[in-house]
Structure 1
Amino acid sequence: MGSNSPPLTHLAQEIAKHVSTITSYLQSHNLPQPSFAPDAPPHPIPETDEKLSSARIALIEATKALHALAVGPSETTRLFAFPGLCHLGAMQVLCHFKVPQTVPLDSPISLTELSTKTKLNEHVLGRLLRMVATNYYFVETNPGYFSHTAWSKTLAPDEKMRQCIWFRHAELLPAMGKLVAAVERYPESDDPKKTAFALAFGGETFFDYKEKNPDDMIRFGQFVDAFASGYVVDSPENIARGYPWGDIGSRSGDGGLVVDIGGGIGYVSVAVGKEHGQLRFLVQDFEDLRKQSEVLVVENRLVGRVKFMAHDFFSSQPEEARGASAYFLRNILHNWSDSYCRKILKTVVDAMGEGSRIIICDIVLPEANSGMPKTQEERARALDMTMLSMFNAKERSLEEWQALFNSVDEKLRITQVIGRPKMRMDCLIEVRLI
């Protein structure tokens, strides 16, 4: 590990160094220190300062390695994913019975009262809470009395955060359980109907299943928004600040049109539109999302600048969307194998005019020995496994992205990649016809 010290000693030294950097910064800026207390901030270490953010990631890396060495290979293997599965199951029950919302935000509650209010068996409730408390969600302040921690408090007011639990338990876990069967039965397939998800859910593709269960589609959209909000590039606000949107349409002086393909209800378009008044937006997605989109647009006073259009991105772009200044795809292409991505991108290329660009917000997988921290790479690889099990799709390296674009049109080239050096998990990829 680049040191003559024993690994444990070296890691301890690294941890002390990074803790000092973080605590000194927080003290000098009069910011609260990280804490399990319910009034602790949900994001105690700001991501906006590059040095501080790097220290945070390095600290996580070092503590992860220290934990692995302290536990050892045998115990790690024997307990592989075991507590995590139990945490997931317990938390799903707690969220289903609205326990996070029922526990008072600033005081303890007895199991008896909580059981009465949630209609969850008191004995089972206690077992569930004591399980998740080992992972810092809730705390038993006195025997039979529970309070929030900063961790469990994130679930109390925010429906989107609770959907993170729902999706992994209700949809990802059953799909992962069929992954062996899927790769055995369909070893070469890129068909979204021949996936682990399809085996777990009656042979339907993920999106066919969602179309038949619109409430689930809404929940999935909430999960995606919550999940994306934790990433430096991927949140709508950071997308608005992270790309030079001001350059779009500047030549004509009358503003440019951005087509937000598969844009949900339009969170990104609204965020960018609030920052860049010269732009107009056409949000394309399922018809079921129209009403939510229109409400969002009205609430943000962007009527006339952000418009919703029901559209299937495998179909040719309608006349209104042709020749747009930019075509934006956020977390779309990673849901599809290369053959399907080519179909999507072909409709975009066919609609592009002179000066049009494609802006893709998606993961860029690291190359071998890239220097990306393992904790960051682990998340990227986990998403890659999710894409495999749910869609027969994948995350892509920069080389794979360019190969995909070349297979659509040899003139389609990556002109810019916005993301942290050595940490390109979530990136903005600009593509033009050159």
Structure 2
Amino acid sequence: MDTSVASGFARRKLLGILSSSWVAQCCYAVAKLGVPDLLADGPRRVDDLAEACGADPDALHRLLRGMASIGLFRRTAPQTYALTSVTECLRSDVPFSLRQMAVLDGEEVFRSFADILHTMRTGEPAFDMIYGEPFYSYLNGNRGVAATFAEAMNANQVPTSLPAPDFSDVGTLVDVGGGSGGLLTEVLTAHAGMRGVLLELPEAVRQARTTLTDAGLAGRAELVEGSFFDGVPPGGDAYVLARVLHNWADEKAQLILRRVREAMGPESRLVVFEQLLPEEDSDPDAASGMVDLLMLVLLEGHDRTEEDYRKLLENSGFSLHTVHRGAGPGADSALVATPV
């Protein structure tokens, strides 16, 4: 191979990677300003958009022009822009909107990655150093950020492996740390005779109430405000922890599992939905590898292998007996465990 050609390709690829944060922050800026919502009905002139969203007209024109150059907006006439299929996802009124994800990534997540060297030198989340407290404590004291986080998580809340476990014999499903109700809505919709219980912090419960009401399921679901560290609602035939455990270090993850175990009857079962890291002799896919880095700078937790989860469950009073592995990069797997 011509090393000069290979070197040129490698340089272009790296330059693209180095500038990717610029693009992400541009997406954050238009999402925060509400530009995609303003363009929902079609193209608009920059001066009109700037007045509507409170931006400087020249700065906004340069932002949209730059984003159009990489296909994120379309210039339909001089000083006039429209959405593309990608930036349609930044509208707040579309299903599975990514607007709040762009805002969260552009603020708290961006600042945490900016100080990744602190994490490298100390092993501690950069977030804690920047904001003076752990991530979830910060959410408890900042209702606006808590709402943004809950909505951001709702955009990607239902695991792809959700259909794998059999819930057909479940009378009551308890979703522990169930966010804004996306997973519970899917399961209750699929099983007409089932009732659901969702345990979450207040802001997420508020959003879950709206989600379940809009789906016509409010009468079949009980919403409980609280922390899974303090206790879990009893009486469930099945319990779900979806993308919860990877947020916490082993000691706290075991505490969550013990609280679930205390609430369960002898015939109950637990389903854990998580991305599984490959064992040490395999390389992670890009999606799981990057999510683990997010955990590193933002939270105290980390992604785990199947064997890691097996040990975590066994140390918390469970036996892991079935694993439904997710198909494709970044897909969640479903781990089914029973109390011992």
TM-score by length of 2: 0.89
Match of 1:246 in 2: 168
Match of 1:351 in 2: 263
> What is the CA distance between 1:425 and its match in structure 2?
3.1
Please say if residues 129 and 138 of structure 1, whose CA atoms lie closer than 8 Å, have aligned partners that are also in contact: yes
Query: Secondary structure of the equivalent of 1:415?
Result: strand
Please say if residues 265 and 292 of structure 1, whose CA atoms lie closer than 8 Å, have aligned partners that are also in contact: yes
> What is the CA distance between 1:354 and its match in structure 2?
1.5
Does residue 309 of structure 1 match 2:224? yes
Q: Whose RCO is larger (CA < 8 A, sep 6+)?
A: 2
Please say if residues 237 and 269 of structure 2, whose CA atoms lie closer than 8 Å, have aligned partners that are also in contact: yes
RMSD (Å), alpha carbons: 2.6
Match of 2:68 in 1: 133
Alignment of 1:286-297 (within 5 A): 286-297=201-212
State the Cα deviation string for residues 218-250 of structure 1 (Å, max 9, x = none).
111111111346x633xxxxx3x44311032xx
Alignment of 1:139-218 (within 5 A): 139-158=74-93, 160-185=97-122, 187=123, 194-201=124-131, 203-218=132-147
Does residue 92 of structure 1 match 2:24? no
Cα distance change, pair 390–69 in 1 and its aligned pair in 2 (3 A):
same
**Alignment partners' CA distance in 2, 1:118 and 1:81:** 30
Match of 2:296 in 1: 388
Query: Secondary structure of the equivalent of 1:127?
Result: helix
Residue from 158, 174, 183 that aligns with 1:259: 174
Alignment of 1:11-30 (within 5 A): none
Higher-Rg member (1/2): 1
**Alignment partners' CA distance in 2, 1:90 and 1:299:** 33
State the Cα deviation string for residues 293-319 of structure 1 (Å, max 9, x = none).
3344333333442101122111233xx
Cα distance change, pair 367–132 in 1 and its aligned pair in 2 (3 A):
farther
Match of 1:324 in 2: 236
Please say if residues 201 and 227 of structure 2, whose CA atoms lie closer than 8 Å, have aligned partners that are also in contact: yes
Cα distance change, pair 389–121 in 1 and its aligned pair in 2 (3 A):
same
- Amino acid across the alignment from 2:73: F
**Alignment partners' CA distance in 2, 1:265 and 1:226:** 10
Please say if residues 101 and 157 of structure 1, whose CA atoms lie closer than 8 Å, have aligned partners that are also in contact: yes
Match of 1:429 in 2: 335
Query: Secondary structure of the equivalent of 1:154?
Result: helix
Please say if residues 271 and 335 of structure 2, whose CA atoms lie closer than 8 Å, have aligned partners that are also in contact: yes
Cα distance change, pair 182–312 in 1 and its aligned pair in 2 (3 A):
same
Residue from 326, 334, 337 that aligns with 2:246: 334
- Amino acid across the alignment from 1:262: G
- Amino acid across the alignment from 2:169: D
Cα distance change, pair 402–424 in 1 and its aligned pair in 2 (3 A):
farther
Please say if residues 153 and 179 of structure 2, whose CA atoms lie closer than 8 Å, have aligned partners that are also in contact: no
Percent identical pairs in the alignment equals: 22
> What is the CA distance between 1:421 and its match in structure 2?
4.7
Residue from 379, 391, 394 that aligns with 2:287: 379
Query: Secondary structure of the equivalent of 1:81?
Result: helix
Please say if residues 163 and 220 of structure 1, whose CA atoms lie closer than 8 Å, have aligned partners that are also in contact: yes
**Alignment partners' CA distance in 2, 1:70 and 1:232:** 39
Match of 2:48 in 1: 113
* Structure 1, unpaired ranges of 5+: 1-5, 7-67, 188-193, 234-238, 249-255
**Alignment partners' CA distance in 2, 1:199 and 1:80:** 29
Query: Secondary structure of the equivalent of 2:19?
Result: helix
> What is the CA distance between 1:148 and its match in structure 2?
1.8
- Amino acid across the alignment from 1:172: V
Does residue 406 of structure 1 match 2:334? no
Match of 1:103 in 2: 39
Match of 2:183 in 1: 268
**Alignment partners' CA distance in 2, 1:134 and 1:89:** 16
State the Cα deviation string for residues 276-333 of structure 1 (Å, max 9, x = none).
122221111113444443344333333442101122111233xxx3342111111110
Cα distance change, pair 69–113 in 1 and its aligned pair in 2 (3 A):
farther
> What is the CA distance between 1:428 and its match in structure 2?
1.6
Please say if residues 90 and 131 of structure 1, whose CA atoms lie closer than 8 Å, have aligned partners that are also in contact: no
**Alignment partners' CA distance in 1, 2:46 and 2:330:** 45
**Alignment partners' CA distance in 1, 2:38 and 2:219:** 41
Alignment of 1:5-84 (within 5 A): 72-77=9-14, 79=15, 81-84=17-20
Cα distance change, pair 101–304 in 1 and its aligned pair in 2 (3 A):
closer
Please say if residues 195 and 391 of structure 1, whose CA atoms lie closer than 8 Å, have aligned partners that are also in contact: yes
- Amino acid across the alignment from 2:244: I
Aligned residues: 336
Please say if residues 263 and 285 of structure 1, whose CA atoms lie closer than 8 Å, have aligned partners that are also in contact: yes
Instruction: Give the ranges of 4+ consecutive aligned residues of structure 1 lying more than 6 Å apart after TM superposition.
Output: none
**Alignment partners' CA distance in 1, 2:88 and 2:7:** 30
